[in-house]
Structure 1
Amino acid sequence: MSDLLEGRTAVVTGGSSGNGRAICRTFAAEGADVVVADIQEEPREGGEPTHELVEAETDAGATFVDCDVTSKDDLDAAVEAAAEFGGVDIMVNNAGIFHGEEFLDVDEAAFDRLMDINVKGVFFGSQVAAERMAENGGGAIINLSSVAGLQGSADFITYCTSKGAVRLMTYSLAAKLGPEEIRVNAIHPGLIETKMTTEDVAIIGTEAEDNFMQGIPVGRAGQPEDVADTALYLASDLSSYVSGESLVLDGGMTNTQ
């Protein structure tokens, strides 16, 4: 590794599992201390808790904070925990859920829960991080959206709505926070092999996988490490002139169908 994040501290929501876990491990391998902010310490895929794995694999500092992203107080506590390592430099708003219920069957409770996690959590995660970053001379905010935030789908209306909101929020935050030396960018993953796509959405490992694969030019599902490498680029000085961008990570699917 090349120590691209040496001396920096990252807060990663949803950091215990899936993409968030991979991001924490990659950031730590590149020198960053990490705050794993999640509603559960145990990874959905099994294994050691992410903060313990990070400390075992690297010389980076790591801590776990119980964080429900629908609570601004929890988000504030997660960002405050970064003070142990010198303060937050990188905020990754990764926590999110999937909802694909038929349009006419969506009830208010399900809609509100999706928006609270996928949209409110990103907004207030960015807010509490930006306040600290502005005091400390800048930083990077990375929001996890989705290819579902780039185009509509009759099957995933609520999910597309939430992820589209994250995309436009990212653009707006980049405009607002640029003068504070805070860069804000979004990642739009396509089909990534996590518990969300094997269990929650149930694409990988089912008949639906073949249909998806036919639309992916590179011929494979993405891995959490692909998301982590993209986040590393956006968190590091390699992207020092990149802000207000939507980086699509889908193996060519979106623009070739």
Structure 2
Amino acid sequence: MPELLSDRTAVVTGAASGIGREIAHTYARHGASVVVADVQEAPREEGTPTHEWIADETGADTRFVECDVTDRADLEASVDAADEFGGLDVMVNNAGIVGPVAPIQEIDREEYDRLRSINLDGVYFGCQVAADRLLERGEGGSIINMSSAAGMVGYPNISPYNVAKGGVRLLTYGLAAELGPHGVRVNAIHPGVIETEMTRSDFPIVGTEEGEETMETIPLRRFGTPEDVASVATFLASDLASYVTAESIVVDGGQLNTA
């Protein structure tokens, strides 16, 4: 396998599980050093913690940093950890939750605030901390923000999620314009239904009757995998995407544009 990310260091938030776990792993396979930043060390899928899995399988430099993305100091500590491996080159703001699934009139302020603080504020301040470091280093870099198909169109009964993910999309565009003159690219990934614990447990679609019906609306007739998203994240972090910024790349098997 060609090493698309050799001599680069990435911080991936929410990397203990799911999509973030696979992004961190794929980056390491492509030669990157990786800081695994998460509120918990153990993966939701069970098994070996991400940083240990990476070290055992790839031999890449990696470490775990406990990081609550609602705490700017934790985000700073995650970026500081990248200095151990030469300094930050790639920031992936991936951490997120589904939050409440209910009509808008049933969602209280506490639920709304919690989701927004993780899914939108956590990305905003992750970008802020990364921009500080990347501009200080003066070598360009890549910021990748995890949005969602729900950041492109509105879905019923997940209004706080729509708000946050839509905000991530527009934040990405604004920062691409702001940071582009400094050589820093900023892009967003918008996954559709991806097979993770989130879509099995938090917002059950995978393995349900509703899921089977949903799959029929996807041209490729399958749900995505974390590897599908990680491949796009690897492209965006690499020199293959050196002229790609302010983009929203949808990874949903074609559902959004054909429904």
- Selected match of 2:230 from 221, 228, 231: 228
Secondary structure in structure 1 of the residue aligned to 2:31: coil
The CA deviation at 1:178 is: 0.4
- Selected match of 2:217 from 209, 215, 218: 215
> 1:101, 1:72 → 2: CA distance?
30
Secondary structure in structure 2 of the residue aligned to 1:83: helix
The CA deviation at 1:34 is: 0.2
Where does residue 79 of structure 2 map in the other structure?
A: 79
- Map 1:185-204 onto structure 2 (within 5 A): 185-204=187-206
- Selected match of 2:163 from 161, 164, 167: 161
- Selected match of 1:146 from 145, 148, 165: 148
Where does residue 123 of structure 1 map in the other structure?
A: 124
Where does residue 66 of structure 1 map in the other structure?
A: 66
The aligned amino acid for 1:15 is A
**Deviations for 1:75-109, whole angstroms, at most 9, x for unmatched residues?**
00000000000111000000000022221111110
> 1:34, 1:171 → 2: CA distance?
25
The aligned amino acid for 1:152 is G
* Structure 2 residue 208 is matched with structure 1 residue 206: yes
The CA deviation at 1:158 is: 1.3
Where does residue 254 of structure 1 map in the other structure?
A: 256
**Deviations for 1:14-64, whole angstroms, at most 9, x for unmatched residues?**
001000000011000000000000000000001100000100011210000
Secondary structure in structure 2 of the residue aligned to 1:60: coil
Task: Tell me the number of residue pairs that the alignment of Structure 1 and Structure 2 aligns.
Answer: 257
Secondary structure in structure 2 of the residue aligned to 1:143: strand
> 1:60, 1:210 → 2: CA distance?
39
Identical aligned residues as a percent? 57
Q: Which runs of 5+ in 2 are unaligned?
A: none
Where does residue 95 of structure 1 map in the other structure?
A: 95
Where does residue 134 of structure 1 map in the other structure?
A: 135
The CA deviation at 1:155 is: 2.0
Moved more, 47-56 or 147-156: 147-156
The aligned amino acid for 1:12 is V
Where does residue 15 of structure 1 map in the other structure?
A: 15
Where do 4+ consecutive residues of structure 1 move more than 4 Å? none
Secondary structure in structure 2 of the residue aligned to 1:253: coil
The aligned amino acid for 2:58 is T
> 2:163, 2:13 → 1: CA distance?
21
Q: Which runs of 5+ in 1 are unaligned?
A: none
**Deviations for 1:102-151, whole angstroms, at most 9, x for unmatched residues?**
21111110000000000000000011011111122110000000000000
CA RMSD of aligned residues (A): 0.7
TM-score (norm 2): 0.98
> 1:241, 1:59 → 2: CA distance?
30
> 2:132, 2:143 → 1: CA distance?
12
Secondary structure in structure 1 of the residue aligned to 2:187: strand
The aligned amino acid for 2:204 is A
Secondary structure in structure 2 of the residue aligned to 1:226: helix
TM-score (norm 1): 0.99
The aligned amino acid for 1:129 is A
The aligned amino acid for 2:125 is F
Secondary structure in structure 1 of the residue aligned to 2:204: coil
The aligned amino acid for 2:43 is P
The aligned amino acid for 2:31 is G
